[in-house]
Each structure stands twice: as C-alpha cells, then as structure tokens.
C-alpha cells in the first residue's frame, strides 16, 4: 500500500477542478486542505468528493492503492487561508478564470507563504507574466494547467514565469508524476500554452470545412473520434509521422511538398459566429440538446469512456 506522504497540499477553490485536484493528491497519499471562501461550498465539495471516491472504489476506477475511505480521510476543508498554507509543500489555485481575482489571491498568498511552498495555478489561458509579475515569491510560482476531467486525462502543462526558478519546475514535475499525472514542461510562456494552440488549430480547420459545406458537422467529428483521435490517444502527431514512413526524414521527404501545398489552402481565422455557428449549433443540439440534463448525461458518458481509456492506457503502457 502507498505510504501516506509527509507533505501537505493546499487547494484554493473547491469547484470542479479544485475537487479533482484534491482527489488526485489524496490518491497519491498526500494530505489535502481544500480551501474556499464560503463554508457551504467547502461542505458541498467534501460531500461530492466522498460520493465520487466511493463510486470509484466500487467500480475499480479508484487511483492509487489507498482505499476510498483512507483517501477521503486525507482531505479536509478549510476557510482560513493562513491556516491552510501553514507548513504546506504545494498549493494549487483553482479559482474562477478571472485575472483580477487571481492576482488578488496570489497577492494575498504572497504575504503569508514561506519561501519553500510552490504556488501553482490551474489557469487555462492566463499567462504567468500577467499572474505572477511583482510577487515577492515569483520564483516559487508556476502555471500547472490540467485538462478536464483531470482524474482521467492526466496531462498537466507546466508553464513558468520568466523568473520562476528551475527547481520550482522540477519539483512540480516530480510531484505531478508522483500523483500519476503526465506533466509536460514549456520552456517559456506562450498564449494558449501548447494544448489550446493545437486544439484551436483543429477547431479552426473543422469550422472552415463545415462552414464551406465540405463535410457535415457529424462527419467532421467522426474524422477525429474514429480517425485521428484513435491513434492520438497513444502516439502524438510527431511520432505518427515517424511511424507512417520509414522514419521522420523519410516522411518529410515523401510528404513535405504535399503538406505545404495543403497548408497553403487553409483559409483565414473564422469568426465563430453567423451562419456557420448556427449550422454547427443545430447539428450539435440534434445530437445533444443544450440543456443541463442532456449535457450532463453526455458528459457522464464521455467521462466513462475516458475512464476506460485511461485504464487501457495504464495496462499497455510501454514507454
């Protein structure tokens, strides 16, 4: 059985992502303080985590080797930020995606944290230079961007501020590995980080193809889910090139001209509005009406698929 770890982790913000991080750190044997501004929210979050851990235990999907009860016992709620951060080794901020709010929170933390704790932010798209510049503890700050749902999709993008200490990156990397996540290091900040830059490139061409009437919305999604996505769950685009010819150099020799020719035909950035928006919205709503009940049912199905895929990937891990 995993020994319970020495260090304590603090989660600031107990919403969707905060709860997931709490469960992930507990699965790795860490004590977790789940902080939020209102006690009611903390209570609700702990109840939700308790239910989810039990369910995961029953279905055999629980991460780590500690029992669901043991993992739950490692997580406690808190509404006193100073008490929460005392003695912590790592803090993961998970408050709403609002620059002013996050800056205020990091400003408060800057006044009360020690020189040892690492301050990570879950932000999806706020640059480290916007979040951390001017903080006394900037060396200890890093963006650690998870992917939804983090319990099943292990990637975490680590994005440093220009003044982040290399040891902060390395320690965060090691911590993420320890809890079973799959961290990647960006050497410098860039808008959209890596994941959203790739995602937006795909969305952009998908939008143009459907907007131009080349393919239906449903078929476009199948190109990913039954085509590219099948292999991308195991190997990325670069390794795909390497394997789809006699190595990378041979791939470039064979396909360089074709790739450049096709890439030159890509249109301008779509406005994601107007007729194409209506057309794609209609197709999506026919499949899943955009009300909470249908959306939640479909999300639940997606999470189940991802959970099974995560299990399969673990079984056949070969790196």
Number of helices followed by number of strands (H, E) in the chain: 14, 8
Residue (of 209, 233, 232, 212) closest to 221 by Cα position? 209
Q: Give the up-direction half-sphere exposure of residue 57: CA atoms within 13 A in the CB hemisphere.
A: 16
Distance in Å, CB of 6 to ligand NAI, minimum = 25
Distance in Å, CB of 124 to ligand NAI, minimum = 4
Residue 105 is a binding residue for ligand NAI (CB under 6 A): yes
Distance CA 16, CA 13 (A): 9
Distance in Å, CB of 107 to ligand NAI, minimum = 11
Query: Contact region for ligand NAI (CB under 6 A) — 34-42, 218-226, 230-238, 293-301?
Result: 34-42
Nearer to ligand NAI, 29 or 150 (CB): 150
Nearer to ligand NAI, 55 or 97 (CB): 97
SS3 19: helix
Distance in Å, CB of 280 to ligand NAI, minimum = 20
Residue owning tokens 């939700």: 48
Bridge-based pairing of strands 155-160 and 118-121 is unpaired
Nearer to ligand NAI, 28 or 150 (CB): 150
Q: Which of 124, 133, 196, 244 binds ligand NAI (CB under 6 A)?
A: 124
Residue 37 is a binding residue for ligand NAI (CB under 6 A): yes
Structural tokens at position 100:
């002013």
Binding mask 9-28 for ligand NAI (x = CB under 6 A): ---xxxxxxx----------
CB count, 10 Å around CB of 72?
A: 21
The residue number with the shortest CB distance to ligand NAI is: 15
Residue 36 is a binding residue for ligand NAI (CB under 6 A): yes
Distance CA 95, CA 101 (A): 8
Nearer to ligand NAI, 186 or 245 (CB): 186
Q: Which of 4, 41, 178, 215 binds ligand NAI (CB under 6 A)?
A: 41
- Residues β-bridged to residue 32: 9, 75
- Exposure letters 162-181 (e unless 16+ CB within 10 A, then b): eebbeebbebbbebbeebeb
Give the binding-site size for ligand NAI (rule: CB under 6 A).
21
Binding mask 43-72 for ligand NAI (x = CB under 6 A): ------------------------------
CB burial class (10 A; 0-12, 13-18, 19+) of residue 47? exposed
**Cis status, amide bond into 149, omega within 30 of 0:** yes
Most distant CA pair in the chain, distance? 61
Distance in Å, CB of 127 to ligand NAI, minimum = 13
Contact residues toward ligand NAI (CB under 6 A) are 12-18, 36-37, 41, 94-97, 105, 122-124, 145-146, 148
């Amino acid at each position: 059985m995993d020994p319970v770890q020495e260090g304590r982790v603090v989660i600031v913000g107990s919403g969707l992502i905060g709860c997931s991080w709490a469960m992930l750190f507990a699965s790795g044997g860490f004590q977790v303080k789940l902080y939020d501004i209102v006690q009611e929210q903390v209570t609700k979050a702990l109840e939700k985590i308790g239910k989810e851990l039990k369910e995961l235990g029953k279905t055999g999907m629980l991460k780590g080797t500690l029992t669901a009860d043991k993992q739950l016992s490692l997580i406690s709620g808190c509404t006193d930020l100073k008490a929460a951060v005392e003695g912590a080794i790592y803090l993961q901020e998970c408050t709403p995606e609002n620059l002013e709010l996050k800056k205020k929170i990091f400003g408060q933390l800057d006044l009360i944290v020690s020189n040892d704790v690492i301050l990570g932010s879950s932000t999806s798209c706020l640059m480290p230079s916007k979040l951390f510049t001017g903080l006394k503890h900037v060396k200890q700050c890093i963006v650690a961007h998870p992917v939804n749902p983090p319990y099943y999709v292990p990637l975490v993008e680590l994005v440093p501020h220009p003044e982040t200490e290399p040891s902060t990156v390395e320690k965060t990397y090691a911590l993420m590995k320890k809890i079973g996540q799959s961290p990647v290091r960006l050497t410098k900040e860039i808008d959209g980080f890596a994941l959203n830059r790739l995602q937006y490139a795909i969305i952009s061409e998908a939008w143009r193809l459907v907007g131009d009437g080349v393919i239906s919305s449903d078929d476009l999604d199948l190109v990913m889910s039954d085509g590219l996505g099948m292999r991308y769950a195991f190997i990325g685009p670069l390794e795909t090139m390497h394997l789809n010819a006699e190595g990378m150099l041979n791939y470039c020799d064979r396909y360089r001209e074709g790739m450049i020719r096709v890439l030159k035909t890509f249109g301008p950035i779509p406005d994601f509005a107007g007729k194409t928006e209506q057309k794609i919205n209609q197709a999506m709503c026919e499949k899943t009406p955009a009300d909470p009940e249908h959306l939640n049912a479909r999300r639940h199905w997606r999470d189940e698929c991802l959970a099974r895929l995560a299990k399969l990937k673990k079984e056949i891990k070969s790196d």
